Amino acid sequence: MAFTRKNDEAVSPVIGVILMVAITVILAAVIAAFVFGMSGNISKTKIVAATVQQPDANNIIVTYNGGQDAQSFNYATVVVTTAAGNAAKYTAIAGNYGNGTALNAQTNAAAPGILGGVVGNTITAVPNTAGDTFSGKDHVVVSGVFTDGSKQVILDTYV
């Protein structure tokens, strides 16, 4: 009787080498993506804050509070839309843009209000339509404009 012995020892090392080569290729591709700037279009989020309050049915007050990136903050645009879908007009603007240019009251409801870049500046939104009031489900969006030209939403809320 002849006994033959099957030799399976070479299968495991071959599979191991293939897996190590695959892992090396994947790691090289990921490192190359970072080195050659394929992920370089990610922008840095600016950190500034604005708050909103509604003292009564006729006024919504937005205040610029500053933040870590306040030195690069120029001004913000404020859009208030009533629950009925109407735009608001803006009055009682305090301060300046942050570069010394004075702010003027915005009475055109088609254009957003401008909130200056000095900490503590406020803008008050009032309903555009005579007899209209803010109902408590009014949408407020404050978008910051920075000195490097970038823009970002710094407040998006309902009051």
Amino acid of residue 84: A
Q: What is the pLDDT of residue 41?
A: 64
**How far apart, in whole angstroms, are the C-alpha atoms of residue 152 and residue 145?**
7
Range(s) of the domain holding residue 97: 49-158
**How far apart, in whole angstroms, are the C-alpha atoms of residue 137 and residue 56?**
13
Residue 19 counted as domain residue: no
Residue 78 counted as domain residue: yes
**How far apart, in whole angstroms, are the C-alpha atoms of residue 142 and residue 13?**
61
Residue 17 counted as domain residue: no
Residue 82 counted as domain residue: yes
The candidate with the shortest Cα–Cα distance to 122, out of 105, 134, 109, 135, is 105
Q: What is the pLDDT of residues 69-82, one digit of tens each?
A: 989 888 888 888 88
Beta bridge partners of 153: 143
pLDDT tier at 54, thresholds 50, 70, 90: very high
Percent above pLDDT 90 for the chain: 23
Residue 119 counted as domain residue: yes
Task: Supply the CATH number for residue 65's domain.
Answer: 2.60.40
Residue 110 counted as domain residue: yes
**How far apart, in whole angstroms, are the C-alpha atoms of residue 134 and residue 124?**
12
What is the number of domains present in the chain? 1
Amino acid of residue 112: P
Residue 36 counted as domain residue: no
